[in-house]
Amino acid sequence: MSPIRHRPARGSWALFFTVLFLASMWPIYPAFSRIEPVLLGLPFSLVYLTALGVLSFGGMLILYLRDDGDDG
């Protein structure tokens, strides 16, 4: 008998990635699509999109590391 493992709720991850996807489109993105302020030499809109990409990478990394690989 194997121990019970707690798996992340798939629905919450789907919601997380859906929110990230929608945050990169209209009507949310135009609120952040400006040049000023410049952060690390990059326009704010590029920093915003880069942050969304980093959050997406982090979420996928967590899902990959927590996956036990047993589909059965």
DSSP 8: P
Residue pLDDT, tens place only, 25-66: 988 899 988 889 999 999 999 999 999 999 999 999 998 888
Query: Tokens at residue 61, please?
Result: 């990394």
Retrieve residue 9's tokens: 């709720």
28 or 8: whose pLDDT is higher? 28
- Those residues whose C-beta lies under 8 Å from the C-beta of residue 37, and which sit 6 or more positions away, are 44
Angle ∠(53,58,60) on CA atoms, nearest 5 = 95
Contact assessment for residue 34 and residue 44, using Cβ atoms and an 8 Å cutoff: yes
